[in-house]
C-alpha cells in the first residue's frame, strides 16, 4: 500500500507540474487505484472545447498491468462509461509497458479519440453529432445528464453514467463544476434539458427562430421522396411534357395512324 501511495503521489506531481496539452488528471481521494481525467477537445476537431470526463481504474499490481479506461461524458466517439479496448488498456495486458505513466496513457487515449479507428467501446458518429455532443459536455457533467434536482430532492447516487445529479463529478472536480454552473447561467442553459431557455428580456412578440443545443436530425431529403402534391422531389420544376412523355408519344402515334387511314380512304374513293 505504501509503494502504491508513493507512486500515486509521484505521478500526480508529474502530471500537475507538467500537464500534457488538453489533459488534466488526479487520483481519487476515496480510491487509491482510481484516477479521474478531463480531456479538453483540441482545435480543428469535432470535439473542440468539449469537456470529456473519464476514469482510469488500475489493478493492484500496476504498473505491471494496465488500467481499465472509461469515458463517462457522451462524445459521439465512445460509449459512455464503457471499458475501451486499446493497446494501453486492460484488454491487452501483454502489450502494456510498465514505464507508461498516467500522462502517457491519456495522451494515447486523446490520440485515439481524434482518429477514426474503431474498437470495442467506440461508436460511429458524424461531425455534426460530435460537435453537438461537445456543446453539451459541461451541462452533462454537472447535472448528471439532466438528473439534477434544483428543489433539493434526492436523486439516484452511485451511477457515473447519469442519474446522480452530477454528484460524482462535483466531488472530483469542484472547481470545474462551479465554472460549469456559471457558464450555464450566463448562457441560459436549462439544467434539466441542456437547451437554451428563452431570453426574459427579449421582446414578447419575437418572430426569430428558436435556438438551442439541438441534436442534428441526420435526415436528408432523398431524390424521389414524395413531397406535397404527390410529386417526387426529382420531378419538381420539370415541364408537363417532360413528366408525361409516354402520354405525348401515344397521342402522336394515334394521330399519325388516324391521318394515314383518312388519306387511304380518300385515295381509294
Concatenating the DSSP letter of every residue in 116-159 gives: ----TTB----HHHHHHHHHTHHHHHHHTTTT--TT------S-
Burial of 56 per CB tally in 10 Å (0-12, 13-18, 19+): buried
Please determine, for residue 209, whether its predicted confidence score (pLDDT) is greater than 80: no
Q: Is residue 159 part of a domain?
A: no
Residue 13 sits in the same domain as residue 121: yes
Of the three residues 103, 135, 167, the one that is the final residue of a domain is 135
Domain encompassing residue 261: 228-268
Number of domains making up the chain: 2
- Examine residue 145 and state whether it is found in any structural domain, yes or no: no
Is residue 56 domain-resident?
yes
Query: Is residue 121 in some structural domain?
Result: yes
Question: pTM of this prediction?
Answer: 0.75
CATH at residue 64? 3.10.110.10
Instruction: Give the domain-ending residue among 135, 164, 182.
Output: 135
Give residue-wise pLDDT tens across range 27-67. 999 899 999 999 999 999 999 999 999 999 999 999 999 99
Does some domain include residue 94? yes
Residue 21 has pLDDT above 50, yes or no: yes
pLDDT at 157: 62
9 and 127 co-located in one domain:
yes
> Is residue 88 situated within a structural domain?
yes
Whether 232 shows a pLDDT value over 50: the answer reads no
Check whether residue 122 and residue 244 sit in a common domain: no
Annotation marks residue 207 as catalytic: no
Burial of 269 (0-12, 13-18, 19+ CB in 10 A): exposed
63, 90 Cβ separation under 8 angstroms: no
Residue where one domain finishes, among candidates 135, 159, 189:
135
Q: Quick: pLDDT tens for 70-96.
A: 999 999 999 999 999 999 999 999 999
Q: From the candidates 24, 32, 57, 85, which is the catalytic residue?
A: 85
- Residue 205 host element (H or E): none
Q: What is the pLDDT of residue 214?
A: 55
Q: Give me the chain's average pLDDT, please.
A: 82
Report yes or no on 65 lying in a domain. yes
Residue 132 pLDDT > 60? yes
Helix (H), strand (E) at residue 69: strand 68-71
What are 141-197's pLDDT values in tens digits?
Answer: 999 999 998 876 767 665 676 789 999 999 999 999 999 999 999 999 999 999 999
Q: Name which residue leads in pLDDT, 26 or 208.
A: 26
Determine the 3-state secondary structure of 171 from DSSP: helix
Distance from chain centroid for Cα 157:
24
Alpha carbon of residue 135 to chain centroid: 9
Residue 160 inside a domain? The answer is no
Amino acid at each position: 500500500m505504501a509503494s502504491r501511495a508513493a507512486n500515486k503521489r509521484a505521478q500526480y506531481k508529474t502530471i500537475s507540474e507538467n500537464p500534457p496539452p488538453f489533459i488534466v488528471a488526479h487520483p481519487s481521494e476515496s480510491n487509491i487505484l482510481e484516477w479521474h481525467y478531463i480531456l479538453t477537445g483540441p482545435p480543428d476537431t469535432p470535439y473542440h472545447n468539449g469537456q470529456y470526463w473519464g476514469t482510469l481504474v488500475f489493478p493492484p499490481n500496476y504498473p505491471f498491468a494496465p488500467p481499465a479506461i472509461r469515458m463517462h461524458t457522451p462524445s459521439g466517439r465512445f460509449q459512455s462509461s464503457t471499458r475501451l479496448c486499446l493497446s494501453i488498456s486492460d484488454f491487452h495486458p501483454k502489450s502494456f509497458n510498465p514505464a507508461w505513466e498516467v500522462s502517457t496513457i491519456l495522451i494515447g487515449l486523446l490520440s485515439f479519440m481524434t482518429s477514426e479507428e474503431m474498437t470495442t467501446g467506440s461508436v460511429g458518429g458524424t461531425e455534426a453529432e460530435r460537435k453537438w455532443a461537445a456543446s453539451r459536455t459541461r451541462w452533462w457533467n454537472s447535472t448528471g445528464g439532466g438528473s439534477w434536482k434544483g428543489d433539493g430532492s434526492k436523486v439516484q447516487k452511485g451511477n457515473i453514467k447519469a442519474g446522480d445529479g452530477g454528484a460524482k463529478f462535483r466531488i472530483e472536480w469542484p472547481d470545474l463544476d462551479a465554472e460549469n454552473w456559471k457558464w450555464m447561467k450566463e448562457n441560459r442553459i436549462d439544467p434539466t434539458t441542456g437547451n437554451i431557455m428563452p431570453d426574459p428580456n427579449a421582446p414578447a412578440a419575437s418572430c426569430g427562430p428558436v435556438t438551442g443545443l439541438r441534436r442534428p436530425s441526420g435526415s436528408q431529403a432523398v431524390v424521389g421522396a414524395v413531397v406535397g402534391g404527390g410529386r417526387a422531389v426529382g420531378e419538381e420544376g420539370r415541364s408537363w411534357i417532360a413528366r408525361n412523355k409516354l402520354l405525348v408519344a401515344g397521342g402522336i402515334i394515334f394521330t399519325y395512324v388516324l391521318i394515314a387511314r383518312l388519306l387511304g380512304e380518300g385515295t381509294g374513293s
